[in-house]
């Protein structure tokens, strides 16, 4: 599953995407 294999970069990318409107 995605949650099992997510990496730090993935997390950062998603976080950035959330921050942008």
Partner 1 sequence: NNNLQKAIDLASKAAQEDKAKNYEEALRLYQHAVQYFLHVIKYEAQGDKAKQSIRAKCAEYLDRAEKLKEYLKKKETTPAKPV
- Residues in contact with partner 1 by CB under 8 A are 2-4, 6-8, 10-12, 14-15, 17-19
CB of 9 to partner 1, least distance (A): 10
Q: How far is Cα 21 from Cα 9, in angstroms, rounded to an integer?
A: 20
Report CA-CA distances (Å) from 15 to 5, 19.
16, 6
| Minimum distance from residue 6 beta carbon to partner 1 (Å) | 4
What minimum distance in Å lies between the beta carbon of 13 and partner 1? 10
As given in the structure block, the two tokens for residue 8 are: 């730090």
């Amino acid at each position: 599953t995605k949650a099992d294999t997510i990496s730090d970069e993935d997390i950062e990318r998603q976080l950035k995407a959330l921050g942008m409107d």
